Structure 1
Amino acid sequence: MDAPTEGRGSQRCGYVGLVGRPNVGKSTLLNRLLGMKLSIVSRRPQTTRNRLIGVQTRGDTQFVYVDTPGLHGEQKKALNRYLNRSAVTALGDVDVVVMVVEPERWTDDDELVLKHLRRAGRPVVAVVNKVDLIPQKDRLLPFLEKLSQRFEFEEIVPLSASKGHNVEPLEEILRRFLPEAPFLFPEDQVTDRSERFLVAELIREQLMRTLGQEVPYSTTVEVEAFEDEDGRSRIAAVIWVERDGQKAIVIGKGGQQLKRIGQQARAQIQDLLERRVHLDLWVKIRDGWADDERAMKSLGYDD
């Protein structure tokens, strides 16, 4: 597929979908492209649960990046099905797709992503992320060759999102596929999400980073109160879990685990809001919420 014809003296604006299986670094790449932390990250798969738009305006071009949950074959719960629907739906609404993969690793979930890309019919740029973890660069060449045979990618770009290596050439490539169109957002806007949403995500990030293997996937966060007064924000949020045992783990002995989560989240929220924050956290039980579509909608997981 040929790239759009380059125009002169006109604005370009369009949507760029970031897709891939869980834990390949899509959110890290988004943050690097934006030059700021917008999407939460952790070493655990399925950290991203909602489509998140990040806006980057550079000169006459506005990139509207769409970070999506990782596509995965396992769909045991309603939450897993929601994550996949969210990612697949985004493919139909973008001008160009960035498929993020890891070097020297190809899984059934990567193949699932390609299956959906073939159906979407959008131009696709492959990004091979985490190349900084490959000590001998000549080992990368056979993987790149095999990758080029799997799909008709417009370009294949090896890079390191965490280190920022080779990210600028990716932007130059993506710009070619954006239509000539006026900007969709003010030049200083970076997302369409509310502060409430971003605050809830920062709290959930600490849950993903702090808790044991399974518990984070049974938690979600709901901001119940958000008030600004005297140059500071007072925020009250509920951490929802599915069972009594999970509640005890989140709280920890003598409340120390919850206190630690709150302290770490508060620091992140203060950086985001650029003001002092008073944060109150509670842990409550909502039995089986992750497999109950009505409960999920009430907690913000709504198509």
Structure 2
Amino acid sequence: MKFKTLSKLGMALGLGFLLAACSSDEDSSKGSDAKEVNLAYVEWDTEIASTNVVGQVLEDLGYDVSLTPLDNGIMWEALSKGEADGMVAAWLPHTHASQYEKYKDDLDELGENLSGAKIGLVVPSYMKVNSIEDLTNEADHTITGIEPGAGITAATEKAQEEYDNLADWNLVTSSSGAMTTALSQAIDNKEDIIVTGWSPHWKFASYDLKYLEDPKGVYGGEETINTFVRKGLKEENPDVYSVLDNFHWTSDDLEEVMLEIMDGTDPKEAAKNWIKNNEATVAEWTKDIKK
């Protein structure tokens, strides 16, 4: 998801302080006996859920785990510089294509951890429009989006260029939480709303929604969510590497955790609950632990 912030320099400086606070010694996260692990993530509902689950599994194995929320572009950059150990939040091949091309040579790619993901423009099923090409004046010519640095935001900006009928529309960026709040309020009032959406996501279990058809293919087809780690992690901390390498689950698993968080459970507690109820799956992730 395209990196764009009002102050890239400020975010970059902030990253240094944030990551420094997560580790008292640069070398403490390295070496075969390292017990500190820093997982980076973006504060999207999917990544909050998945990162908390993986982090809790590592914590249960005795690691001191830090979960560091970052802007999407900075997450990739931090991992490429070895300032974070891993992330399970890469949407490929379309959504994070630009970050992947920029940083892939400086990362170790561990493959997908979830298949069947998708992004696009989403509307309540009661709206009669079914295709992006058919949009006229719905929702007062407004698309309700998420963060400016998100890949789906960049894809929607491209859609405004590709679809002539969207050229004069207003893309409102805010946050994933603000987007889902606006969606909920619109549905309660049976009003038109068009949001930048992705799945898996709890909103599809909570509301009757549909993706608008994308005949120009701006949003791409099926995606996977992938895992990446910093260079050297395999040699320096093979057990952490193996857990991240083995991590794989389903959309139903992810949505179960997301729904519990959405209902008010603390993300860490929701992760613990899922782990308790899915011991066989977690055992597959940890089967190669040698210590």
TM value normalised by structure 2: 0.28
Using CA pairs under 8 Å that are at least 6 residues apart, name the structure with larger relative contact order, 1 or 2. Answer: 2
The structure with more helix, counted as a fraction of residues: 2
TM norm structure 1:
0.27
